[in-house]
Amino acid sequence: MFKNFILFILLINQINVISQVQRGIDSILFEIQTKPLNKSIADKALAIPYDITVNNLNKSFFIYERLYNENIFGEDKIRSGDLIEKLALVYYLKGNYLASYNMHLKSIQLFEEAGDERRKANVMATLAYASKKRNLKASLEMMANAIRILKKLNAKSDLTSAIDNYGVLFEIKGDLDSAMFFYNEALRLKVALNDSVGIPYSLNNIAGIYFIKKNFSEGLAYINRSTEIRNKLHDYIGMAWNEHTLGELYVSLGNNNEAREHFRKSFQLAKKASYPDLQSRNAKQLSSVFAKGSRFDSAYFYFNTFFDIHDSLYNEQTQKQLLEMETLYETEKKSSQIVTLASKNAVIEKEIEKKRNSQLFLLSILGLCLIGGIVIFRAYRQKTAANKIISSQKIEVEKHRNLIAEKQKETIDSINYAKRIQYALLANEALLQRNLKEHFIFFKPKDIVSGDFYWATEHNDRFYLAVCDSTGHGVPGAFMSLLNIGFLNEAIKEKEIREPNEIFNYVRNRLIESISHEEQQDGMDGILICFDKGSGQITYAAANNAPILIKSNGSSAHFIELGKDKMPIGKGERLEPYILFSIAANAGDCLYLYTDGFADQFGGPKGKKFKYNPLNQLLSSNSNEEMNNQKMKLEQTLTLWQRELEQVDDILIIGFRI
C-alpha cells in the first residue's frame, strides 16, 4: 500500500514536470519565431523530453528543422548529433522515413567522431527499431550491439528503451517468449528507475503478448494500467496506441462494435498528435470493420482516408501536387477578397452602377470557379497519369523482386541438394554403432552445409574415425570437406596405407598437389583414430586438434589432453612428418574429438569466447552420464551461452566410451 502511494506521488510530480515542459515548448517556439537564434535557445530545445516531442510533432518539427538549417551548433559534434537525432525522430513519426534514416546515419557518424559511445549506442538502437520491417535480422544484430554497449557503460535509463524495443523485434520475428522476457526486463528496470513515462510502453507491449496468446484477462489488466498512467500524463500518442491495441483485440474476438469505437478514439488521438502512420493504420481497420457491418458508405470513406494518408507518406509526387493546390487556393482566396472590396467601394461611390458591378462580380466569381475547375481537372489528370506511372513501376519492381526470389530459391535448393550429398558421405550411424560401444554426435553447422565433417570406414580388420575442420564454412568449406573425405578414402582404400600419421602425410601431399598454388594454404585441422580389432590397440594422428581422454574413477573424473602436431593438413610453415600417437585407455574411459567451433563461440554476459578449458571441464563433469544426456547438456550450455549472438563457426563434438 505504501509503495503504491509513493508511486502515486512520483506520478503527480512527473505530471507537474510535464506540464511545465509543455508550457516550455510553446515558450521556445515563441522565442525562435520572434528573436535572433542563439545557442541558449537551442540548448532549451534539446532539453525537450521525448514524450513532449512526440506529442507535439508539428511544433517540434518547426523548432528542430529551423535550428538544423541554421547550423546553430557549428563544429560542436555532440550537440549537433543530439539535434539531428531529435529531427530524425520527428521525421520518422511524420512518415518521412528516408529523411529519418539519413539523419540517423549522420548522428551516428558525429557521435563516432566525438568518441561518445553512449549516444552512438542510443542512435543504433533507434535505427534498429526504425529499420525492423526492411531487414529484421540486421535490426536484431544492431540492437544487440547497442544493448551490449549500454550495459558496459551502465547507462540504465537508456538501456530500458533499447531492451523494450529489442522485445518488439522478437515479437515481429514470432519469438513471443523472448519478446515477453525483454518486455518484463524493461518494465523491471523502469520501475526501479521510477520512469513513469516509460512504464506504460512496457505495460502495453506485455498486454499485446497476452492478447496474442489468448490470455485476454491478463492483457486487459496490463493495458488498463498503461492507459491510466498515459491519461494522467496527457500522452496522446501513447493513448492512441493503447486504443489501437484494444481495437485489434476486439476484432480478434469478433466484437466489431467495440473494435470500431476503439479505432475511432485512436484515429482522433493520432490526428490530434499529427501522427500520420497511426492515422493510416486506424483508417484501414475502420474501413474493414465498417465493411463487415455492411456500412459501405463509412467503409468507403475510411478506405479513401487510408489511401490518401498512405499515399502522402509514400508518394512524393502527390505531396508536391497538394502543395501546389494549396498555393493556388490561397491565391484565389485573396483575389476573391480584392474583387469583393472593389465592389463595395463602387456601391458607395456610384449607387447607379450597382447592377453593373454586381454583374461583374458574379462574372468574376464564375470565372474563378471555371479556372478552379480547370485546375482541379488538370490536377486530376496529372494524378491519374502519375498513378499509372507508379503502377507500372510497381509492376516492374515486383517482376524484379520475383526474379530475385526465384534465383534465391534456386540457389538455396542447390545448396540443400549439396547438403544431401555431403551428409551421405559422413559416417553413417549403423557403421558407428557396430564399432563404438556408446557414443554421441553433436553436429551444428553454421550454414546449410559445413566445413566440419566426421567420417569413418572399416578396412583390413581396422576401424578408422576422423573428426576434421576444413578451411572455411558454408559452401566453400563444404567443397573442401568433400575433397578431404575423398583423399582420406583414397589413402586407406586405394593406397592401402594403414597408420593414421602416414594417412595424414598422404592427404597433405595430395592437397598441396591439387590446390595449394600461388601460396594458398587451404586444407584442414583434424584427428584420425584407428582401432585395431585384432590387437585392441588404439592409435591416432592429430593436426592442430587434440583428443581429450577422461579417465573414469567411480564418482570422480579428470580429463587428459592428448598429444598433437601443431601444423595443419595442407601447406603451412612446417611440413614435418606427422607423429603416430597411441592411447592407453581402460574400459569405461571416455574419448572426445572436437573442432574449434564450440570453444570459439562468443556469448555469456560479456560477449567473450567460451574457450577450451571450460569445454573440457564441462565434458569431464558430465562424463559419467549416458551419452545422450551428455549431448543434451552440451546443447543447453551452448544455447544459454550464445543467447542472441550469431553462431560464428561450424560446431562438431563426438564422444564415445571405450
Grade residue 24 by pLDDT with cuts at 50, 70 and 90: low
Q: Is the pLDDT of residue 23 over 90?
A: no
Integer Cα distance of 548 and 615 in angstroms: 11
What confidence tier does 87 reach under pLDDT thresholds 50, 70, 90? confident
Q: Residue 346 has what pLDDT? A: 45
Give the CA distances from residue 60 to residues 42, 135, 166, 278, in Å, rounded to whole numbers and listed in that order.
12, 29, 26, 18
Whether the CA torsion 91, 92, 94, 97 is positive or negative: it is positive
Question: Could you tell me the three cell numbers for 601?
Answer: 563461440
| pLDDT score of 514 | 80
Neighbours of 318 (CB within 10 A): 18
Mean pLDDT of 279-300: 84
Among the ranges given (195-199, 237-241, 367-371, 595-599), the one the predictor scored with the smallest mean pLDDT:
367-371
Q: What is the pLDDT of residue 324?
A: 42
3-state SS assignment for residue 83: helix
Ranges of H-type helices in 254-315? 256-272, 276-292, 296-314
Residue 51 pLDDT exceeds 90: no
Residue 367 has pLDDT above 70, yes or no: no
C-alpha span between 594 and 452 (Å, rounded): 10
CA 510 to chain centre: 45
- Averaged pLDDT, 100-104: 81
Residue 514 CA, chain-centre distance (Å), reads 43
**DSSP H/E element including 590:** strand 590-594
Q: What are the helix (H) ranges across 350-428?
A: 354-425
pLDDT band, residue 232 (cuts 50/70/90): confident
Task: Summarize pLDDT for 455-478 with one digit per residue, the tens.
Answer: 999 999 999 999 999 987 778 888
Q: Is 234 left (phi over 0), alpha (psi -120 to 50) or beta?
A: left
Residue 213 has pLDDT above 70, yes or no: yes
- Give residue 262's identity as a one-letter amino acid code: H
Q: Which has more confidence, 193 or 344? A: 193
- Once rounded to an integer, what is the mean pLDDT over residues 583-611? 92
Angle at 225 between CA 223 and CA 230, to 5 degrees: 90
d(CA 355, CA 342): 14
DSSP state of 565: B
Sign of CA dihedral 225, 279, 169, 18: negative
Task: Determine the residue type at 397.
Answer: V
pLDDT tens profile 140-196: 998 999 999 999 999 888 899 899 999 999 999 999 999 999 999 999 999 998 888
Q: How far apart are CA 251 and CA 260, in angstroms?
A: 9
Mean pLDDT over 532-540 rounds to 93
Flag whether pLDDT at 567 surpasses 60. yes
Residue 257, burial from CB neighbour count under 10 angstroms (0-12, 13-18, 19+)? exposed
Q: Are strands 602-603 and 608-609 parallel, antiparallel or unpaired?
A: antiparallel
Which tops the pLDDT comparison, 330 or 105? 105
Is 335's pLDDT higher than 50? no
540 to 243, 504, 536: CA distances (angstroms) = 69, 10, 13
Q: What is the pTM of this model?
A: 0.43
C-alpha cell at 638: 551452448
CA distances from 194 to 4, 14, 156, 187, 647 (A): 12, 10, 12, 10, 37
| φ and ψ at residue 644, rounded to 5 degrees | -90, 0
| Residue 569 pLDDT exceeds 80 | yes
Q: Which residues contact 220 (CB under 8 A, 6 or more apart)?
A: 207, 249
Whether the CB-CB separation of 166 and 182 falls below 8 Å is answered with: yes
Contact 578, 541 (CB under 8 A): yes
Is the CA virtual torsion 388, 389, 394, 399 positive or negative?
A: positive
Alpha-carbon distance 598 to 616, whole Å?
11
Residues 6+ positions from 444 with CB-CB distance below 8 Å: 597, 638, 647, 650, 651, 652
Confidence at 288, pLDDT banded by 50, 70, 90 = confident
Cβ within 8 Å of residue 241, ≥6 positions away: 204, 266, 278
Band of residue 132 on the pLDDT scale cut at 50, 70, 90: confident
Asked if residue 581 lies in contact with residue 539, where contact means CB atoms within 8 angstroms, the answer is: yes
Question: Tell me, what's the pLDDT at 372?
Answer: 60
Statement: residue 341 has pLDDT above 90: no
Angle at 475 between CA 469 and CA 476, to 5 degrees: 60
3-state SS, residue 238: helix
What pLDDT is recorded for position 95?
74
Higher pLDDT, 385 or 454: 454
Highest mean pLDDT among 26-40, 406-420, 568-582: 568-582
Average pLDDT score over the chain: 81
- pLDDT of residue 7 exceeding 70, the answer is no
Q: Which of 114-128, 300-314, 435-449 has the lowest mean pLDDT?
A: 300-314
Q: What angle do CA 469, 472, 476 make, to 5 degrees?
A: 115
